[in-house]
Amino acid sequence: MSRYLVLPLLALILSSPSFAEKADREKPMNIVADHCLAEQKTQQTVCTGNVIVTQGTMVMRADKVVMRQDADGKQFAKGEGRPVRFKQKLDSGEMLDAESLSFDYDEVKGEMVLIDKAWVKKGQDVVMGDTINYNLNTEFYQAQSKPGNRVNITINPKKKDAAK
């Protein structure tokens, strides 16, 4: 079996024409933590202790988050926690929940990588793996497992409309 399992089914399960509320990216980001160090020269901020990041409907909770911004205003973040938790409302109205022990976000590439004991839940559908990559531009997921571990996907049947 391949070391990395690429699962095209994930695109069917977790992506939709509008994944997260697109307006969230245009809203201000708020960070609350026990301690933060911000260096304006490098545009880097390190926050530790009960870190809560909110931007629109997105809420992330972590033990440590390191964020920086490039000259064009693009954001990059890395974080860790026991675990890191994400929650965001989708344009469809559904909630997306995710969790991992660490993450890496790159706005230029449009990628969020959930690392170590990662899972993503949309509605009742769940994807679990050692690493889950999500491309925000293409809305494509890739779940990977380390040797000896496996990716796990639970897809629930859609409820039929009782009125029909």
Q: Which of 2-6, 11-15, 61-65 has the highest mean pLDDT?
A: 61-65
Q: What pLDDT was estimated at residue 35?
A: 97
Residue 159 lies in a domain: no
Q: How many CB atoms lie within 10 A of CB 99?
A: 19
Residue 161 lies in a domain: no
Our count of domains for the chain comes to 1
> What mean pLDDT value characterizes the chain?
83
pLDDT in tens, 18-73: 345 567 777 888 999 999 999 989 999 999 999 999 989 989 999 999 999 999 98
Residue 1 lies in a domain: no
Residue 51 lies in a domain: yes
Residue 105 lies in a domain: yes
Q: What pLDDT was estimated at residue 13?
A: 42
Percent of the chain past pLDDT 70, that is, above it, reads 84
Q: The domain spanning residue 88 has which CATH number?
A: 2.60.450.10
Q: Which residue has the higher pLDDT, 14 or 146?
A: 146
Domain that holds residue 64: 9-154
Residue 2 lies in a domain: no
Q: In a 10 Å sphere around its CB, with 0-12 CB exposed, 13-18 middle and 19+ buried, how is residue 158 labelled?
A: exposed
Q: What pLDDT was estimated at residue 99?
A: 96
2 pLDDT above the threshold of 80: no
Residue 18 lies in a domain: yes
C-alpha distances (whole Å) from 97 to each of 65, 69, 123, 147 are 18, 25, 9, 26
Cis, bond preceding 157 (omega within 30 deg of 0): no
Residue 128 lies in a domain: yes
**Cα–Cα distance, 93 to 86 (Å, whole number):** 16
